[in-house]
Structure 1
């Protein structure tokens, strides 16, 4: 388990720019080693800003987007064309604007494709087993004001999932109520976990996640660590850290 590193930035624009630079460099380095890097994407406002910045820089970098494999840490169990879908947001901001290989973009099945969130979790798990590398080069995560990450919410049954890659989540305290999320065990199979948070509204949750003491049940973001764990924060999100 890695000790989290905190990287503070003056504002959200600087934060997004620095994460974009670091991500392109990391994925490019993996390709230079002869690897096909696999990345887990997240949703939310700051992730959308990051995706747009990555698309803007695509033509100026040596990164071969067709040799990057895309996954999601969680997804809302809604129809495929719903604006609530993390995958739709990522496509509109990034994936539709860079030359990805469609066979290397792995979305969680939607509610108009399979019957239940459990079916979607089972199908996504099977795809990860067959198409995954066994680890993510980078897993991008956000954190909610309540301390949740992916769709692992405080006190929810998914926190206790073992020997599973992805599970269904029902009665989410944040709409929509039905979701699919990777488990802690799956999220920890990565070279790097990168949490990205911006704004004063995230400051309490960030402080609880990084405190020396506290429980994963109350602040699920405490439960995810990679070989490297980095918290990318703007000063507002970092404002309640020591």
Structure 2
């Protein structure tokens, strides 16, 4: 699969382009089906996306009422914790827009991790109502990438990389803290209509180059296993992260 790779001169220009892309996909989905389903990762991705998405240029032109927001992964911490993906999204984004609160589907970590994963699948089942043996199909899944090639909370060599049935699963032994997390699995991610990797900064350049120029004689990294089965794969990079080699179209 050839990804659609877009490289922008600066982090600010990356932010504007990414937000415009998300807003366009939301408008198309809203017009077609009356709903836009998006799954978020945390960390620097939200820091890149949220400011431009909440800007005057876009904010008032977005129909926030049709958005349904989920999390690709979440750390097993209170929502008030600086490590909470939900907490970061609340601070940078949700507090500034009018997405109906009942359509922001936070992961419930008041129960044990395995029950939490099952509960999150039930929430998806209720909203998407997929046919038997099918998975939910998100309009957009936003992913970051770690310097080790992990994405979501799917880490190199982890048994969850071989999961084929579950939509959501607990991670009890993540190699970086916090060790306990909840994550979407590769089958669910790869069922997305649009899957977008976002990376910025020189610290991501080596791993981006590695993932976008895979080598058959080594074990594939988690980010390399993201290959939508019937969707489109996108990369949005700033110049610093995308500076190694020719990776296709640039923005």
What is the TM-score of this pair, normalised by structure 2? 0.89
- The match for 2:120 is 124
Matches within 5 A, 1:1-242: 2-57=1-56, 60-110=59-109, 113-114=110-111, 116-132=112-128, 134-214=136-216, 218-226=220-228, 227-242=231-246
TM-superposition CA deviations, 1:66-95 (whole Å, max 9, x none)? 210001100001123222111111111111
**Separation (CA, whole Å) in 2 of partners of 1:20 and 1:220:** 25
Say what the alpha-carbon RMSD is for the aligned residues. Answer: 1.8
> Do the aligned partners of 1:208 and 1:219 also contact (CA within 8 Å) in 2?
no
Runs of 4+ in 1 over 6 A off after TM superposition: none
* Bigger mean CA deviation after superposition, 55-64 or 187-196: 55-64
Quick one: structure 1 residues 215 and 151, their matched pair in 2 at CA, closer, same or farther if it must change by over 3 Å?
Answer: farther
**Separation (CA, whole Å) in 1 of partners of 2:71 and 2:51:** 17
Number of equivalences: 238
- Which runs of no fewer than 5 residues in structure 2 stay unpaired? 130-135, 247-251
**Separation (CA, whole Å) in 1 of partners of 2:218 and 2:59:** 41
> Do the aligned partners of 1:66 and 1:101 also contact (CA within 8 Å) in 2?
yes
**Separation (CA, whole Å) in 1 of partners of 2:59 and 2:78:** 35
**Separation (CA, whole Å) in 2 of partners of 1:216 and 1:63:** 44
TM-superposition CA deviations, 1:86-118 (whole Å, max 9, x none)? 1111111111110111111111112xx11x221
- The match for 2:132 is none
What is the TM-score of this pair, normalised by structure 1? 0.92
**Separation (CA, whole Å) in 1 of partners of 2:203 and 2:104:** 32
Name the SS of the counterpart of 1:190 in structure 2: coil
**Separation (CA, whole Å) in 2 of partners of 1:219 and 1:72:** 21
TM-superposition CA deviations, 1:181-235 (whole Å, max 9, x none)? 0000011111100100001111111112111425895410011123110110111
**Separation (CA, whole Å) in 2 of partners of 1:117 and 1:60:** 35
**Separation (CA, whole Å) in 2 of partners of 1:215 and 1:32:** 45
Quick one: structure 1 residues 58 and 109, their matched pair in 2 at CA, closer, same or farther if it must change by over 3 Å?
Answer: farther
**Separation (CA, whole Å) in 1 of partners of 2:181 and 2:236:** 25
